[in-house]
Amino acid sequence: MCKISLLEKPHAVCIPYQAQGHINLMLKLAKILHHKKFHVTFVNTEFNHKRLLKSRGPGSLNGFLYFQFETIPDGLPPSDVDATQDIPSLCESTTTH
């Protein structure tokens, strides 16, 4: 297997559909790619990023070299814990914002 220099490191941008099951599976794929020496950017909505931090702990997403998380606005209310369960509203909110 050939070695990849830092300048040649492939970059994967992972953008899951914003339902929880899709996020978990995409995160698993992102970790596999990272393990295979990819630079990974995982894009998540603000609501789901906060939800991920809450479920795994505030430091759980830190410490991965070449693995970064980016958030995009989703327009979902910060206090509505079931906001991502209403798929039509979720689709409308993410396409609007």
- At 5, give phi and psi (nearest 5°): -75, 165
78 CB contacts (<8 Å, ≥6 apart)? Answer: 47, 50
Q: Is 13 helix (H, G, I), strand (E, B) or coil?
A: strand
pTM of the predicted protein model: 0.72
Structure tokens at 29: 């794929």
- Computed over every residue of the chain, the mean pLDDT equals 78
| pLDDT tens-digit map of 68-90 | 999 988 777 666 555 555 667 66
Within 10 Å of residue 37's Cβ, how many Cβ atoms?
A: 14
